[in-house]
Structure 1
């Protein structure tokens, strides 16, 4: 126990997170439970209160909360190298699996039964429906937030463009600021932060500069790789509410451009539920399966790095400011409005493209219903539900 309290190096952090990246099934909530067991209970890297403070910070920021918690744990343990090591260990196993699946789809499509691919799309219906159900119960507990969710759903469904989703998130934040009550989190912060605020401000400035500059540079240079990085960086910068919410943003960035067809997009999203680690590694699949270069390993790794880069910059930038931000009631109110709109955006994605592309006949509806019940009520692991849908889809096909 005393040995675990000593400062670890980046290599130690990498090995711990690599094991978690190979075994952490179940989505972001399960990941946070695995992290608590590993780093609070077993290794004593930080105490319960500090861990809760870290989780609260990462839920406040856009991006994949569980991955950001992992990056922050790595940073607190071994500095910037530890943050990178934590991300690599937790992310690469599922990213490699998703790129290999993408290569199989593009190079050996005839060897994969069409019914099995369709079963993966049906599994995506159940997974997204479960996410909408759970997020709505948590993030839309009153009439105002349900109304905001409904308005967001209608806006995005009627105008399915990436800029509309961004505008809806911004407007929802303003509405939340005006209409929703904020909570004063007056408990003192307990995270052992040594980074100076000036350094954090530099990271936040870099995050904002890339968000503004990448679209301009991509348009001026007309470079396919830069365009790919811009699309995935923007998606990673605007995701509030967890990994599932990245689905509509990535769909709007990839399918209309002709990078990926809607059928392959949903098959990859279904497959992403069956691998451990963060759901954001779906980006590696999309980069690898692209119908225009860069694709394959190059496209997959570029997309993977681009979608996670905002999370890394934001966690570095926010850590030194969190002790002050957590007290701001207005920030909590704005975030409540954003979260309600996020549920609406995901609900719109459940209709288009998830439902319309997968539910084509009564058998599909029945399979999706059974998968949904299995996830929500029978507590069957997502990887088992996805595998079962692929098998049954092959049989029904």
Structure 2
């Protein structure tokens, strides 16, 4: 197991040149032979992560305007540029509970508060390497799409005592769950809990029970996870989903409100909250949630045209026509890469016409023109049908519903 720094490939991400130089000098003095790559912006960082595999990433949390460190880690993990063998350390000058929660929710290997000493950096990096280096063969198997081989390697690691036992068991449970091997995932989680109750194992058992449609049992596991570790946010998200499946939207709303109160920097969590708030006609809460979706999702292109549409609809229900119009005007900028942009923009224009009758006929003419060029996508169709009904265009709505039925 190689936990020395000599041959490690390192990336430093920080928007201040002096900090990049300082960290680079520290690492070289600690034994890194190859000069670390550096990035001053999120865009530069993502390009470097896309182009090569790094053993160690030191990433500042606050990179100024646009994406921050959590965005980079989430995207790099999603794309496979940061894997189970990568040491990812989040660095920041901030220490507020809100920021720390946001940084840690993505699960970096360590969190370093500035100013950073060489001794502290060395300690965190070596601890990360001790944890991640044994996972290199597993990461290679997963990059090749060989989950079976990865599971076999994890079993060998358990037998030989190589690597961190908790990490091995957790990854084994995750791989089994993702591949549909529910009995294996359940067996691993139950074994972990017998040794020590941990939130991720209870949460995984909740996911397993959900897949089996054992919803009350799933709820029980997820509530246990929250008792064990209230700050473990996936348990809150899965619990809300289970409550929704049971038809308990009000309970799900309360769970998500509590989760957002703990950690609000999640597009998916805010989007789910926005949807349920709209269903419950909690318009002020819906406006707040959709606003966060748009603002959080803008730097990473996670924001969709539909999010802007939902925010505009929520403002309209609050009687805020000017704010709704402003959201629709910004839709082109916020969701420029969304292939459904023109259709959600059309839905937004029609929705505004519900409140501004002078806009009704021009909006309907624009809809007819758009439909001559393309078919309304399934994702937008029901919204268009509902809006046409609200406009009093019942026949037109019924024709659209029947003509484009899946």
TM-score (norm 2): 0.28
Q: Which has the higher strand share?
A: 2
Greater RCO, CA 8 A, separation 6+: 1
